[in-house]
Amino acid sequence: MQLKFKKSYKFAIKSSLYISLFFLATIFLYHYLVQPLNLNVVLIFLLFFCAATFFLIQFRVEHFIYKRVKKIYDDVSLLENTSYINQPVTTDMATLTKEVKKFARDKKLEIETLKIREEYRKEFLGNVSHELKTPLFTIQGYLLTLLDGAMDDKNLRKKYLERAEKGVERLIYIVKDLDMITKLEAGEINLDITRFNIVDIVQNVFELFEMKAANKNITLTFDMKYPRPIWVLGDQEKIQQVITNLVVNSIKYGKKGGTTEVGIEDLTKNKVIVRVTDNGEGIEKQNIPRLFERFYRVDKSGARSEGGSGLGLAIVKHIIEGHDEKIYVESQIGKGSEFSFTLEKSK
């Protein structure tokens, strides 16, 4: 690659001036101590001397220092970075130092990012293997029991096959969620933005999970009556999944005899905020920043006993951010949690 060279005259100018001043001081000393000189000739000669020293010093900078500076550029691989490809090599030490420090900071940040990603990758693979291992071992256990002779017992055979089927359903659920969040993160799922009534969507979710809530004696309710539709813009199917995941979570972590309440309020002139509130066990403050990570569970043992893929809140976050909206969490231990997200109103 042909390199451009940025000339820095500052060093040569300063050096020639210092040398010229020293030369002028010497001439004046000779003028007063030895014999008088023609000052006009001295000044003309001084100007010539200053110009000559400037060009000589600049020549040495370009052909001597430049080689060493270029080696510094090559050694730190500055030219491999696309942001440096079209920049000239400079002999200005201040500029060079600034560029090298910037390069070092960028590389340090890059290394730290790679370390974080590596830790995330290890944690993710560990979580995936754990989530898949549980239903797989369950299915294997039931099938092996059947093969060892339980198949001859009609009642036992049906019971074990039904349990194995639940394990397969759990695997399918996890794989589907993994596929969805992978596509969401890669931006491969296009949103079908339409106008719909958010009240109807919430009511649909309530009807789907009223039996699940009834098993824990949890009441699914609105915070007030909504006699009129509230029209919003978004992907209706994805927003229903968001509300589904939030309601299911509130049931999963809610206390027996508790409530899950959904409220829809005007936030701004063109925004509404949907709140899903429960009076369950709540979330500790240190866990809140990690709630939307894949497979992150506040209560690992309790959450796994309730089932689920561990991807629900991560999917919620990606869907809401895909709509260019915000999601919020507020929680207090022993008092419950509130998840809320914004949506654009339909004009």
**Contacts of residue 312, Cβ cutoff 8 Å, sequence gap at least 6:** 177, 245, 248, 249
User: Cβ–Cβ contacts within 10 Å for residue 2, how many?
Assistant: 3
Instruction: Tell me what pLDDT residue 233 has.
Output: 94
Instruction: Tell me what pLDDT residue 343 has.
Output: 94
Relative to beta strand 5-6, strand 89-90 is parallel
Minimal CA–CA distance to 220: which of 236, 205, 199, 240?
205
Contact 334, 253 (CB under 8 A): no
Going residue by residue through the chain, which has 347 residues, state the pLDDT in tens, using 9 for 90 and above: 444 545 567 777 778 888 878 877 777 777 777 777 677 777 787 788 888 888 887 777 766 666 666 666 666 555 455 455 455 555 556 666 777 677 778 878 888 888 877 776 776 677 677 677 777 888 888 888 888 877 877 788 888 888 888 888 878 877 877 777 777 777 777 888 999 999 999 999 999 999 889 988 999 999 899 999 999 999 999 999 999 999 998 988 888 888 999 999 998 889 999 999 998 888 888 888 888 877 776 655 444 445 556 788 888 998 998 899 999 999 888 888 999 999 999 87
- Hey, is 169 helix, strand or coil? helix
Q: Which amino acid is at 261?
A: E
* DSSP class of 335: T
User: What's phi and psi for 9, nearest 5 deg?
Assistant: -90, -10
Instruction: Tell me what pLDDT residue 302 has.
Output: 43
Quote the CA–CA distance of 267 and 3 in Å, as a whole number. 57
